[in-house]
């Protein structure tokens, strides 16, 4: 003890210097002649005061370590938050924090909130926001330890408590980007904790003790996470707001409906983001119907009702697509992925992988640009998955790579050591290979994988059946059986007929858009998002196979649909391009007769009023792909 104390004091002079440098007023309630104080044997310090003092000293030492530029940044950041200066907050949040992280904290934590508290006058609200960033940095750059996991939960609770349970709406403005990150990170940490909790085999005694405690059972519980999200949605009346907008209500009416919280951008955005957060939480917990149900008022494919960060659209599409995949509504899944991949570029590899799975389960015509990238990245896997049962391992690998890390709603019984031990080492003598202690118990991902795999396996006879049937207009079932039974492995007619029924069932499915018919219900032409809301779970039967057949007793009759050549997209794209070139030429000044150097100017075509091309030619394609 004493030894440590000396070391701390040795650092004291520097510490003072540093503090003077920043010119920040810090109360130091320590006696000036401290050395004497410790030497005085008559002085009785009680244990608590001693600890508090030591903590204080440690903090000062830590404070001394903070580079000046970071201190100035924090002071400035704090001021911006106090002023509700959105622009300054955005700069601090998006560039300042990131820059300083790269420079000083790429491999270590930011200073603790308690350490920087003097810089911000102990402003508790700012310190909560600061900790939000602090822990997010720990989770993304470093390895959170068990204390971090519990403390970040406590800090989230404090933040949401402040937002939800103050007297009326709080006077705080934060940029949309940050608000989304708050919700997104909250769910990420919930997921991360659940995964951490689900592996009892690799825990230290400390971790076991924490998880067994009463707080350990409460922290990051599913109920508490859902409670936060639902409270934010209800407080802001986000669903009522979306409904009112869809019904085309006036601004005054909407203001009336959403109340004092919902009119504030902070709450409105948090409410909206919480709906998308709920989608994700339900997906992680394996409730794919409820996940889509909560999204009813948000819809899919519509523009967000305010400028939302790209991450919002990506998260929405990814999780909604997973829901449709698990509901075996493959064309709907593919359409959701394609919709967002059209305008975010190469950042979403997992969605391309999911599209490859969709393509294998139900090949439908998709946007050419997106499909080309899918083939580029996963062409080889698609080929392997088309080869029947031997493709299963590829299918499973790709699913495990691309699916979310699903979580269990409940904790292993940490509070019951006997039950936990029997979970780790089942008393029944099983074969030693079946349960290695490192297997993750209760892994829900395996459960979802099994469902997908058995669907994949049921479809394995389809590709070869299909390629065979394509050669005929009618074919005797017995003959067909003979063709399929090339190996003599004993495919009998009954089995082939069951494959035929599987193929028939696979050729139609429930979906939200009839992609083959002319009545393609235009999802994309939304009139500013004012379409009446419709259920994301609803759908109609549609045919998704180009090869159709019917069996008359023992005779199979086959009809193939072909897609006529498509000209429209090419025509529209090139017409628009020509129009732009023409406009560019017309808008350029005539080249002066004498001075050839000016020519260079006409090369970069200036923008011309009246040529509406903010969205580029993609819009035209967006329509064509569904036709």
Partner 1 sequence: MAATSAWLSPPSRTELIENLVSGVDRYNPSNVGILEDYLYHQIRSEEYDCLANLAILKLYQFNPDLFNPDVVINILLKALTAEPFPDFNLCISLLDDRPTNATLDEPDPLPTLLPLLTNLYNLLHQCRFSAFWTLYRSDELEVVRENYTVECAGFEDAIREVAARSVKATFTRISGERLGSYVDLSGSKLEAWVAKQRWALDPSTGVVSIPPNPDNQIESVVIQEHIKLPQLGKVISHSVQAK
Stretch 596-625 residues interacting with partner 1 (CB under 8 A): 610-613, 619-620, 623-624
- Residue 260 interacts with partner 1 (CB under 8 A)? no
- Tokens 């930011």: give the residue: 110
Closer by beta carbon to partner 1, 69 or else 568: 568
Closer by beta carbon to partner 1, 596 or else 612: 612
Alpha helices in 459-551 (DSSP H): 462-469, 477-484, 493-506
- Tokens 């059972």: give the residue: 217
Q: Out of 215, 248, 482, 522, name the contact with partner 1 by CB under 8 A.
A: 522
Stretch 542-601 residues interacting with partner 1 (CB under 8 A): 548-553, 557-564, 566-568, 572, 575-576, 579, 582-583
Asked if residues 237 and 259 have their Cβ atoms less than 8 Å apart, the reply is: yes
Q: Out of 58, 62, 290, 587, name the contact with partner 1 by CB under 8 A.
A: 290
Q: Give the CA radius of gyration of the chain.
A: 31
CB of 413 to partner 1, least distance (A): 6
Q: Out of 62, 212, 510, 544, name the contact with partner 1 by CB under 8 A.
A: 510
Stretch 467-506 residues interacting with partner 1 (CB under 8 A): 494-495, 497-502, 504-505
Stretch 410-429 residues interacting with partner 1 (CB under 8 A): 410, 412-413, 419, 422-423
Sequence-separated (6 or more) residues with CB below 8 Å from residue 9:
34, 35, 57
Closer by beta carbon to partner 1, 85 or else 458: 458
Q: Out of 27, 41, 168, 518, name the contact with partner 1 by CB under 8 A.
A: 518
Closer by beta carbon to partner 1, 73 or else 241: 241
Q: How far apart are CA 593 and CA 577, in angstroms?
A: 29
- Tokens 């290979």: give the residue: 433
CB of 222 to partner 1, least distance (A): 6
Q: Out of 36, 154, 253, 534, name the contact with partner 1 by CB under 8 A.
A: 534
Q: Which stretch binds partner 1 (CB under 8 A): 53-61, 264-272, 441-449, 481-489?
A: 441-449
Kindly report each contact of residues 97-101 with a partner whose C-beta sits within 8 Å and lies 24 or more positions away, as own/partner.
Answer: 97/73, 97/133, 100/69, 100/70, 100/73, 101/137, 101/141
Q: Which stretch binds partner 1 (CB under 8 A): 35-43, 130-138, 299-307, 541-549?
A: 541-549
Of 531, 36, 592, 608, the closest CA to residue 301 belongs to 531
CB of 286 to partner 1, least distance (A): 4
DSSP string, 387-456: SGGGGHHHHHHHHHHHS-----SS---TT-HHHHHHHHS-SS---TTTT-TTSPTT-HHHHHHHHHHHHH
DSSP string, 69-122: HHHHHHHHHHHHHHTT-HHHHHHIIIIIHHHHHHHH-SSSPPPPHHHHGGGGTT
- Residue 442 interacts with partner 1 (CB under 8 A)? yes
Closer by beta carbon to partner 1, 348 or else 547: 547
Q: Out of 454, 478, 526, 599, name the contact with partner 1 by CB under 8 A.
A: 454
Closer by beta carbon to partner 1, 313 or else 448: 448
- Residue 226 interacts with partner 1 (CB under 8 A)? yes
CB of 478 to partner 1, least distance (A): 13
Q: How far apart are CA 613 and CA 10, in angstroms?
A: 67
Closer by beta carbon to partner 1, 121 or else 526: 526
Closer by beta carbon to partner 1, 151 or else 512: 512
CB of 620 to partner 1, least distance (A): 5
Q: CA triplet 477, 482, 488: central angle to 5 degrees?
A: 145
The token pair that represents 258 in the structure block: 């959403």
Closer by beta carbon to partner 1, 290 or else 484: 290
Sequence-separated (6 or more) residues with CB below 8 Å from residue 388:
460, 461, 463, 464
Q: Which stretch binds partner 1 (CB under 8 A): 21-29, 73-81, 108-116, 437-445?
A: 437-445
Closer by beta carbon to partner 1, 62 or else 611: 611
Q: Is 386 exposed, middle or buried (0-12, 13-18, 19+ CB in 10 A)?
A: middle
- Residue 286 interacts with partner 1 (CB under 8 A)? yes
The token pair that represents 284 in the structure block: 């992680």
- Residue 432 interacts with partner 1 (CB under 8 A)? no
Q: CA triplet 220, 221, 227: central angle to 5 degrees?
A: 95
CB of 144 to partner 1, least distance (A): 24
Closer by beta carbon to partner 1, 140 or else 410: 410
The token pair that represents 322 in the structure block: 């997973």
Q: How far apart are CA 290 and CA 283, in angstroms?
A: 9
Number of Cβ atoms within 10 Å of the Cβ of 515: 21
Q: CA triplet 343, 507, 370: central angle to 5 degrees?
A: 15
Q: Out of 119, 269, 300, 326, name the contact with partner 1 by CB under 8 A.
A: 326
Q: Out of 86, 304, 344, 520, name the contact with partner 1 by CB under 8 A.
A: 520
């Amino acid at each position: 003890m004493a030894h440590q104390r000396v070391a701390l004091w040795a650092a004291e002079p520097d510490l003072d210097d540093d503090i003077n440098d920043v010119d920040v007023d810090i109360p130091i309630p320590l006696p000036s002649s401290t050395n004497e104080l410790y030497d005085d044997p008559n002085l009785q310090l009680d244990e608590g005061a001693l600890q508090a003092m030591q903590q204080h000293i440690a903090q000062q030492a830590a404070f001394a370590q903070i580079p000046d530029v970071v201190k100035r940044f924090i002071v400035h950041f704090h001021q911006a938050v106090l002023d509700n200066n959105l622009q300054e907050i955005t700069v601090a949040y998006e560039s300042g924090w990131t820059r300083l992280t790269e420079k000083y904290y790429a491999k270590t934590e930011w200073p603790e909130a308690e350490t920087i508290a003097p810089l911000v006058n102990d402003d508790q609200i700012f310190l909560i926001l600061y900790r939000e960033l602090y822990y997010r940095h720990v989770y993304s750059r470093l390895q959170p330890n068990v204390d971090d996991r519990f403390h970040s939960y406590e800090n989230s609770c404090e933040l949401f408590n402040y937002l939800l349970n103050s007297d009326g709406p709080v006077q705080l403005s934060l940029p949309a980007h940050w608000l989304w990150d708050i919700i997104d990170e909250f769910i990420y940490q919930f997921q991360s904790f659940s995964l951490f909790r689900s592996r009892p085999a690799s825990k230290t005694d400390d971790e076991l003790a924490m998880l067994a405690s009463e707080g350990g059972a409460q922290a990051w519980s599913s109920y508490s996470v859902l409670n936060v999200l639902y409270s934010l949605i209800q407080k802001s009346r986000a669903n009522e707001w979306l409904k009112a907008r869809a019904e085309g209500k006036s601004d005054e009416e909407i203001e009336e409906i959403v109340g004092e919280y919902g009119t504030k951008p902070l709450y409105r955005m948090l409410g909206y983001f919480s709906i998308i957060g709920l989608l994700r939480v339900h997906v992680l917990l394996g409730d794919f119907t409820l996940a889509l149900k909560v999204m009813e008022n948000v819809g899919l494919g519509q523009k967000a009702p305010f400028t939302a960060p790209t991450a919002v659209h990506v998260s929405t599409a990814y999780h909604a697509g997973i829901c449709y995949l698990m509901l075996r509504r493959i064309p709907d899944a593919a359409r959701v992925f394609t919709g967002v991949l059209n305008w975010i570029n190469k950042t979403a590899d997992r969605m391309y992988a999911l599209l490859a799975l969709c393509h294998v389960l139900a090949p439908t015509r998709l946007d050419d640009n997106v499909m080309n990238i899918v083939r580029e990245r996963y062409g080889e896997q698609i080929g392997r998955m088309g080869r029947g049962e031997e493709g299963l391992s590829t299918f499973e690998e790709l699913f495990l790579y691309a699916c979310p890390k699903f979580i269990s709603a409940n904790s292993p019984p940490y509070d019951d050591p006997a039950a936990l031990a029997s979970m780790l080492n089942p008393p029944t003598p099983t074969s030693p290979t079946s349960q290695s202690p490192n297997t993750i118990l209760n892994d829900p991902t395996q459960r979802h994988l099994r469902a997908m795999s058995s669907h994949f396996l049921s479809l394995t006879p389809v590709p070869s059946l299909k390629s065979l049937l394509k050669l005929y207009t009618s074919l005797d079932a017995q003959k067909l059986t003979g063709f399929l039974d090339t190996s003599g492995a004993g495919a009998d007619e009954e089995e082939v007929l069951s494959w035929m029924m599987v193929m028939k069932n696979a050729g139609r499915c429930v979906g939200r858009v009839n992609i083959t018919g002319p009545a393609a219900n235009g999802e994309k032409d939304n009139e500013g998002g004012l379409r009446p809301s419709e259920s994301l779970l609803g759908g109609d039967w549609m045919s998704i196979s180009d090869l159709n057949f019917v069996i008359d007793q023992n005779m199979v009759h086959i009809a193939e649909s072909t897609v006529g050549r498509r000209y429209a997209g090419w025509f529209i794209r090139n017409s628009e391009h020509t129009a732009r070139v023409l406009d560019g030429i017309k808008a350029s000044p005539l080249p002066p007769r004498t001075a050839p150097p000016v020519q260079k100017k006409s090369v970069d075509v200036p923008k011309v009023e009246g040529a509406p091309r903010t969205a580029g030619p993609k819009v035209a394609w967006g329509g064509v792909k569904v036709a």
